Amino acid sequence: MKPIWDAIIVGGGPAGASCAVWLARLGFAPLLLEAGPRLGGLTAENPFRDDWIAALPEVTGRQVAANIARSVELACVNVRLDARVAAVRRTAQGFEVECAPGQAEGGETAGGSGMPAAPAAGGAAAGEAAADGGPARHAGRTLVLATGVKPRPLDPARPHERSPGVLVGPGAHVAAADYAGRSVAILGGGDNAFENYAYVRRRGAASAHIYARSVRAQRQWVRAVDPADLRVGPYRADPQTRAVDGRAYDLMLVFYGWEPQAACAAGLDLRRDARGFIATDPATAMASVPGCYAIGEVAQRMHPCVATALADGVVAAKAIERALQG
């Protein structure tokens, strides 16, 4: 008989992991599905110190991700890594989550130990893969979407287009690039653009220019930029030639902000806000479909950061506890 989890949590970043840990410690059986090879979400791609987390001074994003994985392990949460969710649908019992063929079970762990954990009280045993190698399906009484965000592309009409020397960030690939002696164009007016201006200059860039249609970055970052390196107003960027307003660069870094990543839940027809983020109840994090919750940056319920994402996971876990016990 196919097991039914108390909650299926899609996304192993700070919000999803927090929700899973709390549910497990409250005595429920959550299943945590993470599309990547490790837990931590965007923090796993951040090699820099994140001094905004008051409880974790001088800790890098990657160390935060390692702490998240350890917390999940200690709570004996059942986890599937490399589990890309292809579709979600409602059922009479709650929800069914379908993972892409060949991915859902290959990274199975229980709290990162590699061995199935005993189910929490009232919960289910470890999930099962399709015997024919097709998509694995998991059933849950409730569903939590913690799928996060993805960087906005340079050209929304060609979101998957790749051009040599054009890095859409932020992320580890931006941090790892060689900037020594190179000219760099930085597109965007937010914190990431201005922070990375300082980074590429420290890494020996011959020149770095920020192109911002408007400036939204924090004052300390703006003040650190040489005014001669900041262009504010409309501009034209050509990714094929890595040119901005006709000036060619060795590298082009794109920091256009973020957009919600929740295509897997398209079949639920969830209500969205004007920016496309999933709309939720402020007190419970429940989305417009009963039993479905959205937390972290995919819902933009609070200012996006690790601390608020962790708190959002707790809100959803407590709401699920009330719903399942009620």
Read off the tokens for 12: 């192993």
What number is the average pLDDT over the span 255-271?
A: 95
For the segment 43-60, what is each residue's pLDDT rounded down to a tens digit? 998 888 888 899 999 999
- Residue 129: what pLDDT? 52
Single pTM value for the model? 0.87
Asked if 243 and 249 count as a contact pair (C-beta separation under 8 A), the reply is yes
| Same domain flag for 51 and 32 | yes
| Same domain flag for 132 and 279 | yes
| Same domain flag for 55 and 170 | no
User: Does the pLDDT value for residue 263 go beyond 90?
Assistant: yes
For the segment 191-240, what is each residue's pLDDT rounded down to a tens digit? 999 999 999 999 999 999 999 999 999 999 999 999 999 999 999 999 99
Q: Are strands 243-244 and 237-238 parallel, antiparallel or unpaired?
A: antiparallel
What number is the average pLDDT over the span 291-310?
A: 95
| Same domain flag for 166 and 238 | yes
| Same domain flag for 110 and 250 | no
- Residue 126: what pLDDT? 37
Q: What secondary structure does DSSP assign to 192-255, as a single string?
A: HHHHHHHHHHHTT-SEEEEEESS--S-HHHHHTS-GGGEEES---EETTTTEETTEE-SEEEE-
- Residue 60: what pLDDT? 94
Residue 11, domain extent: 4-149+259-325
The last residue of a domain, from among 254, 280, 295: 254
- Residue 130: what pLDDT? 57
Asked if 208 and 184 count as a contact pair (C-beta separation under 8 A), the reply is yes
| Same domain flag for 162 and 239 | yes
Domain of 15, CATH number, reads 3.50.50.60
Higher pLDDT, 63 or 116: 63
Higher pLDDT, 183 or 112: 183
| Same domain flag for 139 and 158 | no
| Same domain flag for 117 and 263 | yes
The last residue of a domain, from among 254, 277, 300: 254
The last residue of a domain, from among 254, 283, 308: 254
| Same domain flag for 24 and 97 | yes
Under the banding of pLDDT at 50, 70 and 90, the label for residue 155 is confident
Query: Which amino acid is it at 7?
Result: A
Indicate the number of domains in the chain. 2
Query: Which amino acid is it at 112?
Result: G
Could you count the other beta carbons within 10 Å of the beta carbon of residue 309? Answer: 26
- Residue 135: what pLDDT? 81
| Same domain flag for 78 and 165 | no
- Residue 115: what pLDDT? 30
| Same domain flag for 37 and 99 | yes
Asked if 287 and 280 count as a contact pair (C-beta separation under 8 A), the reply is yes
